[in-house]
Chains A and B, each alone.
Chain A
Amino acid sequence: MVYGIVRLINFAHGDVFMVGAFLAYYAISYFQLPLAVAMIVSMAGCALLGIAIERIAYRPLRRAPRIAALITAIGVSLFLEYFCSLKFVFGPNYLSFPRPFRVVTWEWAGIHFSNIQIIIFVVAIFLLILLQYIVHYTKMGKAMRAVSFDQDTARLMGINVDSTISFTFGLGSALAAAGGVLYGIAYPQINPFMGIMPGLKAFVAAVLGGIGIMPGAMMGALIMGIAEVLTSAFVSSTLRDGVAFGILILVLMVKPTGILGRRTGEKV
């Protein structure tokens, strides 16, 4: 999502995701907060973190070649991973994420599902609706869309580009944190390097669906997920990532701007 607005591959996204999961872990196990509060706390914390990252590492490079910002993004990502695995921060070990409630499974028409899956589904839908509301019906959302369309013109129209981008980073990071908490509930094991693959896949899903198009990102994520599950179920789980990325390449060959992407002509 951040990507669509600033045109920057944010490799640190997965690590914000990790920090979110850890914050929720501490909120639940040390401060005994209920899950919903812990989630809000970790979203707020990660929003601050995202804004700080943007301020320190990306803003000075906004006018520089894009690749420079990409490198600092990798730098930030490595920094978060290794800083968080220092002993006095989170430590390098696997921690088990506390489940604040018991797992209940139901069976309905031959399909197994648990309360965890329902919670994840409901929260995801809720956040998607919230996001759509913010982007399409608030003043800030309008500013975000304007900045993503054309930064310079947006600035001429009196939009504060800096604060808009900061806000975008905060929002994106808060969503990443929510993702991290949900991940922690679903697979109750967290470590400082857990963010690498989900972060990459989030980005790939965004590209697959078409950059900067939110339903596209959701669709891309679904396609990737289903492809992976089907491969592990019917072919071999070790080939899972290979098949998922093979599909990605095939899609990009047919539609180079993603499934829902518009073909933009290049002006000379």
Chain B
Amino acid sequence: MMKNRSWSLPLFFVLLCYLIIQELIRTEVINPYWEQVIQYSLIVTISCLGLNIIYGYTGQFSLGHAAFFGIGAYSSALIIKALHTENTVIFIIALLMGAIFAGLVAFLVGLPILRLRSDYLGIATLGFGIMVKVALDNLDRLIPMMGGSRGMSGIPKLTNFTITYAFVILAVFFLRNFVYSSHGRACISIREDEIAAQTMGINTTKYKTLAFVMGCFYAGLAGGLYAHLYVFLHPSNFDFLKSFDPLLIVVLGGLGSMSGTLLAALGWTFLLEGLRVVLPPQILDWRMVIYPILLIVVMLLRPQGLFGGAEFAFLRPRRITEE
């Protein structure tokens, strides 16, 4: 009985939310522009959940998230373009392939550089991010379809609200179950104190790599969705400045808090887009001035992030109560 109640309520809420938004899109209360914004915010959410695994839970400072986002985007777009298909099943397979490829690259890169600590790791990942961007700029010499610095165009628009929404729910579901498993606990212990974790017999290299690969898998997945939403890819969309965005969101939401990341990612996208609508045209230039000011103010008032490690009830495991 207990089990049923704890699951049915959030499930009901999730479905209700989906139906409402889907209905609003169908009846065109939400215009296509805002539909795109909604999907983008969900994609950002997936990518940020990924970074939350790496930085929020395992404490590994990564500044190269956009690179993995880009790898996922390019590889899934390549698959779809090479196959000339618009089949949804193949699309989902291509998305997963892109994500797996991002995870594979993360594994190869992560194995050596995850030995580095804190800021040095940040710099190494940052360097990797810049290398990926340079590679994307030049890869059209090998694979002409990728377009290099001219950008990759002609990707079919396959991402829709249903798929994005489903992937967000799956991502949250997996992350929640991961974090509260023994693997997740191992990751958290590394964040708290790496040496102590090692002394307790935790294979820190293994778990750091695992978290890094998982986080980059999420990023790759989000990248694939992004590619088929905006149907145009350009290497400058994946440079290191873009790696700061997920970092901002994860920290704003509160490190190691899924609820915080979810809310911050949605809020961040809607804030940036909303300012575009709210501000009168003559001070539209101020949009990017107001945004950092808000950022600084929030950080000064709540240095631990909006949620500061707290979670919504349905994302927490049930207390084990005595019968």
Q: What is the interface of chain A, defined by CB distance below 8 A to chain B?
A: 9, 56-57, 60-61, 64-65, 67-68, 70-72, 74-79, 81-83, 85-87, 196, 200, 203-204, 207, 211, 236, 238-242, 245-246, 248-249, 252-253, 256-257, 266, 268
Contacts and interface: CB of A to CB of B under 8 A. Distances in A.
Interface of B: 112-113, 115-117, 119-120, 122-124, 126-128, 130-131, 133-135, 137-138, 149, 195-196, 240-241, 244, 247-248, 251-252, 255, 285-286, 288-289, 291-293, 295-296, 299-300, 303-304
Interface of A: prevailing SS: helix
Given A64-B303, A67-B251, A76 B296 contact: yes
Contact of A238 (B128, B134, B291, B295): B134
A81 B289 CA distance: 9
A82 B287 CA distance: 9
A4 B22 CA distance: 53
B303 A252 contact: no
B289 A83 contact: yes
Contact of B120 (A60, A77, A87, A257): A257
Give the 4 A-B CB pairs with smallest separation, nearest first.
A64-B303, A242-B134, A245-B127, A82-B288
A268 B134 contact: no
Nearest to A245: B127
B112 A75 contact: no
A4 to B, nearest CB: 11
A248 B124 contact: yes
Contact of B112 (A68, A78, A240, A253): A253
Contact of B244 (A74, A211, A240): A74
A160 B244 CA distance: 34
B196 A71 contact: no
Nearest to B116: A256
Contact of B123 (A82, A204, A266): A204
Contacts of B295: 71-72, 74-75, 78
A268 B292 contact: no
Contacts of A82: 285, 288-289, 292
A70 to B, nearest CB: 8
Nearest to A84: B289
B73 to A, nearest CB: 19
A151 B302 CA distance: 24
Contacts of A65: 255, 303-304
B285 A86 contact: yes
Contacts of B123: 203-204, 207, 248, 252
B186 to A, nearest CB: 19
Contacts of A86: 285-286, 289
A245 B251 contact: no
Given A245-B128, A249-B127, A72 B299 contact: yes
A242 to B, nearest CB: 3
A195 B137 CA distance: 22
